[in-house]
Structure 1
């Protein structure tokens, strides 16, 4: 392993890890030199996974967070409560505390919340205020020290209200509980825990809590990625969310080690399409339909990593719009045959694009032989989108990329697009490696850790390509766990080309019998 790769891995593991996907692929150029700077996507990929949990008072937000934390016991997870960031009340406000609206957005110190979250996202420990609801001050008790973590749960009634706070989140959950249930819980909590009488609780509810819910909290429900009815009682929803989080953590733990690997933002819509195309009972028609949808998403995401230049246009209203101009010097290269399934999506996104072909013949399980290539003559002057839906052992990818390099294509001009990339890198081991990298001063310890984590089997897919070509970008929609003894992707989706083009063994047998 060369020293540059080691340094890159240390930097990728020392603080900020994972990204939200708000500006994926926009390559910003220095105005003075015209050279690309580090893309926004590369910066974001090193930050933690931030989950916002919103909902009405007493809806069960804290219960949901506690259940998520309990199930993610093997991950570093911290909980940040919006309640910690209430403003200190002035003497005048204290004198009329029963007239103070604690459910209004102005009751919170949002600037301090943003500052604390930004520090956590960038790998810095923060002191979170410990708000005292008897004195209505945040300096009565010592602050709570919160250390950087892999997952940050930000919980509060109005965490979706401010767009700046929303933009910090990778997942937004709204806990939707019936109003009567919330009121009953609030009465029980305020009378038992806070010693208030029922009349005071109901008066505050009618004056402040219900109007604030209708005016400020309920409208933010539209921003949620996931809505959980019944809160902590909905175990099925929480199990699905935890599974989704584990998938994202696994994928992006790998992204911390390989900054040139990009996994598109996974939603339940994307997971649903993966479920369909991985199902052995899915018909060819549905397999093609949902594969095409996923391929289009991957292609669009890959195009986002191309360089761009600023461009101003005049709109039909006569106004000036400052936008960007697409990269013009572009071509696709598909690995025959399954890679050809991605060509239509590329043509739909890039009108008139040239597409080259590479045919690689498999010689047994350990060898690949390049037997055909037809590429644009000026390919060395273009950015290349390499198309192959499955990155398995990585042998075919290495052959194809090596050919492009021999043709003069700069490694940094290649973007490898696929639906599934295989990684046999154990997530638990990878977190140990990250820990050792961060705290070890000895490169010998780092090397030993890496050897331990990869000694169980030969590196596959992602590791082969990323280590061999560190300046190339890989864009994929999901990471699979590895290959079985027959070198088939697990869990995988079978032979993609056969299923997409209808040439699997079952179809062939049907044709033979019909003849």
Structure 2
């Protein structure tokens, strides 16, 4: 933890910055907030209308690991042997083709804060992969995508926002032919026959009527960048940037990027080597320290450049020291030393004692008593 030991000015807060600047302003005895209900978005539309493209673009816009995608296609019922023998007679676009009860069960668990295993459907064999699942973790935003997600009222009732992707029928047919022939190993004649017998009638009977339930209709699908930008902005507003910042005004959160997510993915991989784990952990810690330094108060300072001109820059208002809270804080010391040459670092061990765990004890090392008392007061450990 990095602390500034002067009370003359407060630390600035920014949604795009990082580090914990203390919890002195948090209410005393504040209980952990109850898990927030995730924001559920339903995305419906005809076959090959661009639903998945729209979902991917929304996820890219939100740029956050708190968003997950659930596909209705994962909940196709596996065909029996008799149905498989006459697969050309089976209507995959009818509501009965889906296991809606299992979909509701999985969505209910996600909304209640539980991780779930989503089945994986094999479109070539028309069966679920018996030993493979896709694990979906708890998230702040759940996007549920499928051709019939608006048909069942029980599924609609789970949604906070409903989007209908509206694309011309000719374009959808062309996309379906390309998808089914390339990705699912079917020939053009069978795709056209299935489209005429099942796909178009199901669209007219079940999908198009559900358009009336949509809160937002996106013409042209993924080509409509303006609509997707507006939707992403609306979701950000609904989520409210980082609730922790509202509960604890001195907390700043590093804005998530794909680089940061990539490093988190690497260090969470059980197969990562120890040197790689240390390397990427140090990189993440360095980012946190640099963001923390960026939140400290600066004062203007002028220096003379080697060419003799005057440069107006900045410098820290006060001298800095590091406070390492044992034990995890020690892993950040090297990054702090690398960013702040010659910085002094002291250590504090904080632990709870007693049967009720309410009494807090602090063990001090290195820091002068006056400096220690300022830190303890600033961190909110005492009044």
TM tier, shorter chain? 0.5 to 0.7
Q: Residue by residue, what CA displacement relative to the aligned partner does 1:218-237 show, whole Å, maximum 9, x if unpaired?
A: 01100101000000011111
Matched, 1:211 2:201: yes
Does the 8 Å contact 2:49/2:166 carry over to 1?
yes
- What corresponds to 1:311 in structure 2? none
Aligned to 2:44: 54
Shift of 1:174: 0.3
Q: Residues 356-395 of structure 1 correspond to what in structure 2 (within 5 A)?
A: none
Within 2, Cα distance between the matches of 1:426 and 1:180? 52
CA distance in 2, matches of 1:153, 1:237: 16
- Alpha-carbon shift at residue 4 of structure 1 (Å): 4.4
Higher relative contact order structure (alpha carbons within 8 Å, sequence separation ≥ 6): 2
Displacement of 1:75? 4.3
Q: Within 1, Cα distance between the matches of 2:158 and 2:127?
A: 27
> What residue in structure 2 maps to residue 222 of structure 1?
212
Larger Rg: 2
Distance 1:426 1:157 in 2: 42
Q: Which of 254, 267, 273 is residue 243 of structure 2 equivalent to? A: 254
* Partner deviation per Cα, 1:238-276 (whole Å, 9 max, x = no partner): 11111111111116x439966xxxxxxxxxxxxxxxxxx
**2:182 corresponding residue in structure 1:** 192
Q: What residue in structure 1 maps to residue 319 of structure 2?
A: none
Mapped partners of 1:256, 1:138: distance in 2: 43
The SS at the match of 2:129 is: coil
Deviations 1:468-502 (A, max 9, x none): xxxxxxxxxxxxxxxxxxxxxxxxxxxxxxxxxxx
Q: Could you list the per-position Cα deviations for residues 123-152 of structure 1 after superposition, in whole angstroms to 9, with x for gaps in the alignment? A: 100000001112221134510010001111
Out of 75, 78, 96, the position equivalent to 2:68 is: 78
Q: Deviations over 1:413-461 (max 9, x none)?
A: xxxxxxxxxx978773699xxxxxxxxxxxxxxxxxxxx8xx989xxxx
What TM-score comes out, normalization by structure 2 length? 0.57
Q: Who is 1:473 aligned against?
A: none
Q: How many residues align?
A: 236
Q: 1:122 aligns with which of 109, 112, 126?
A: 112
Residue of structure 1 equivalent to 2:93: 103
- Tell me if the contact between 1:131 and 1:141 (Cα under 8 Å) persists in the aligned partners: no
Aligned counterparts of 1:118 and 1:214: Cα–Cα separation in 2: 29
Within 5 Å, which residues of 2 pair with 1:338-417? none
Aligned to 1:428: 253
Distance (whole Å) between structure 1 residues aligned to residue 235 and residue 296 of structure 2: 26
Q: Residues 287-298 of structure 1: matches in 2 within 5 Å?
A: none
Return the alpha-carbon distance in structure 2 between the equivalents of residues 239 and 151 of structure 1. 16
Q: Distance in 2 between matches of 1:54 and 1:164?
A: 15
Equivalent position of 1:147 in the other structure: 137
How much does 1:199 deviate? 1.2
**Aligned partners of 2:244 and 2:251 also within 8 Å:** no
SS, match of residue 157 in structure 1: coil
- Secondary structure of 1:158's match? coil
> Counterparts of 2:75 and 2:222 in 1: how far apart (Å)?
24
**Residues 381-434 of structure 1 deviation map (CA, whole Å, 9 limit, x = unaligned):** xxxxxxxxxxxxxxxxxxxxxxxxxxxxxxxxxxxxxxxxxx978773699xxx
Over aligned residues, Cα RMSD in angstroms?
A: 2.6
Residue 162 (structure 2) pairs with residue 172 (structure 1): yes
2: CA distance between counterparts of 1:226 and 1:256? 30
TM-score normalised by L of structure 1 = 0.43
Deviation track 1:301-327 (CA, whole Å, cap 9, x = no partner) reads xxxxxxxxxxxxxxxxxxxxxxxxxxx
Counterpart for residue 121 of structure 2: 131
Q: Is the 8 A contact 1:50 1:151 kept in 2?
A: yes
